[in-house]
Amino acid sequence: MPTPRRNFLKQLALGGTALSGAYPLFGASDEQMERADQFLNRKPAFNMCGYAAPKIENVRIGIIGIGMRGSDAVERLSYIEGTTIVALGDKYPDRIARAQKTLAEMQRPKAKEYSGEEGWRALCDDPDIDLIYTCTPWTLHTPIAVYAMTQGKHVATEVPAALTLDECWQLVETSEKTKRHCMMLENCCYDFFELLTLNLSRQGLLGEIVHSEGAYIHDLSVDWLFNKKAYADMWRLKLNIGKQGNLYPTHGLGPVAQCMNINRGDVMEHLVSMSTADFSLAPFAKEKASQDPFFLPYADQAYRGNMNNTIIRTAKGKTILLQHDVSTPRPYSRIHLLSGTKGMAQKWPGPARIAFGHSWLKADEQKKLEEKYTLPLVRHIGDMAKEVGGHGGMDFIMDWRLIDCLRNGLPLDQDVYDAASWSSIVPLSIRSAEKKSKTVEIPDFTRGNWKENKPVSLTLDGGATTRVRTIEKKKN
């Protein structure tokens, strides 16, 4: 009888979806780099930065992917007035059934159901949907977003929005041609200290931001990557096989990029990336395989290095350090460090601190600063966000802000150029790390418009009209 490992390798040899062979374009090939030059020479069909789409009084939403992130989104979005969750889509019908129960508990009407491998296409075809909210495995983010925009829908997609350079350009060109928003759901941009530092940066209190640092340091190995009940079909573990680089840059990059006005006054120009060898994933895979035959196919694989360091330089001569480590036992950290000519701020290791010289502010001094520079967005919705939840409330601030902008016809805080440029660090860091840290150019997805694009708006002018439902959930 064939062993699980033999069947696994046979599937890979036949071009199946077993391991990294399922993602042959994962990265930035020579051909993709050449095509990038061609895209750069094309005139943008439309500049989506600062674009305000027509108002949508009631935002009709289709949610695709009702796993961990999607199931939480169903509940969070149900709190927001001026929305209707019209449709639910997932490969697995039982997940849709659980989401329907959530809607019932939230006193929301039952949604249409789309299941199966290609159910997402039928959902995107539904004419009664304004916004597609995608929480699928990463490999589906761009295909769904591109197809949804061609069907007249705005798109909000989980991170990263793309895995290849070609996909980044597909998102940009489709958004420009259709004039449909394509927002990456980078929730960390809406965390409380990150929003505070955005305002401090904008007000000039930190001076000129010359360097920043961000990260995704989160040990996923035991509870998530090798958990058969976590990621469907073990997709996230498979993505850590056969590639080097930073696979998850946007949590650390997004907030500091906004503080540095990336794509809106400056642009990322080139990067170098270096990864350590793998010292833990492969040994852990062997240990798991010795205990459970299910993991035999995952033993003796070439896993991604434990720590990746990627350094980015901008057109104005500023630098960004990004780190990625999901496989060593370290406390969670996104670093979130901003270093300016007048001061600095840093979130991890906690507590979050601010300095305007050689010493950190005292607790009472920092509290006064926070009270003065807390954004109107946080004052308006922050307390409710903490009650609703989602990573301490930042998920709900993000959802509420997205819906309020759509309902009031306001530009989004994150546009398709942010989605593409922040996500491009995945394939470009892979290219650099696998070529002995060779310098790699980062395409200007705005094609020169960064010089004129305006920074993200920090006001609530014309918005803040969207209410939050106060309900007592009914249990079935």
The answer to whether 339 and 212 are in contact (CB under 8 A) is: yes
- Alpha carbon distance 162, 38 (integer Å): 19
Start-end of H helices in 106-242? 119-125, 141-150, 165-178, 192-202, 235-239
Handedness of CA 239, 392, 84, 104 (dihedral sign): positive
| Structural tokens at position 427 | 């394939």
Amino acid found at 202: R
How many CA atoms, within 13 angstroms, populate the side-chain half-sphere of residue 342?
9
Q: Cα separations (Å) of 209 from 78, 257, 259? A: 38, 11, 8
Neighbouring CB atoms inside 10 A of 338's CB total: 26
Q: At what angle do helices 416-433 and 165-178 cross, to 10 degrees?
A: 170
Q: What is the pLDDT of residue 470?
A: 82
- Alpha carbon distance 354, 363 (integer Å): 10
pLDDT averages per 10-residue partition of the chain, 476 residues: 41 35 68 92 95 98 96 98 98 97 98 96 98 97 98 98 97 98 98 98 98 98 94 94 95 98 98 98 97 96 97 99 98 98 97 97 98 97 96 98 98 98 98 97 98 94 93 54
Please compute Rg for the chain using Cα positions.
22
Neighbouring CB atoms inside 10 A of 46's CB total: 10
3-class SS string, 319-386: EEEEEEECCCCCCCECCCEEEECCCEEECCCCCCEEECCCCECCHHHHHHHHHHHCCHHHHHHHHHHH
Start-end of H helices in 227-273? 235-239, 250-259
Specify the 3-state DSSP secondary structure of 415. coil
Q: List the one residue out of 275, 168, 280 whose CA is nearest residue 222.
A: 280
Sheet of strand 154-157, all strands in order from the earlier edge strand to the far edge: 112-115, 83-90, 59-64, 131-134, 154-157, 182-184
Chain position carrying tokens 């925009």: 149
> What's the helix, strand, coil split of the chain in %, to 5?
40, 15, 40
Q: Cα separations (Å) of 362 from 67, 213, 277, 398, 407? A: 43, 23, 41, 30, 41
The answer to whether 388 and 394 are in contact (CB under 8 A) is: no
Amino acid found at 394: M
Q: List the one residue out of 390, 421, 419, 411 whose CA is nearest residue 456.
A: 411
| Structural tokens at position 300 | 């003796």
The answer to whether 427 and 399 are in contact (CB under 8 A) is: no
H or E element that contains 285:
helix 281-291
The answer to whether 220 and 327 are in contact (CB under 8 A) is: yes
Chain position carrying tokens 């943008």: 44
- Contacts of residue 206, Cβ cutoff 8 Å, sequence gap at least 6: 197, 200, 338, 340, 341, 342, 343, 344, 345
H or E element that contains 217:
strand 209-217
- DSSP β-ladder status, 154-157 and 182-184: parallel
Residues 155/160/166/167 CA torsion (nearest 10 deg): -30
Q: What is the pTM of this model?
A: 0.94
Neighbouring CB atoms inside 10 A of 229's CB total: 5
Chain position carrying tokens 């309902």: 407
Specify the 3-state DSSP secondary structure of 450. helix
| Structural tokens at position 270 | 């080139």
Domains located in the chain, CATH noted: 59-158 (3.40.50.720), 189-377+414-451 (3.30.360.10)
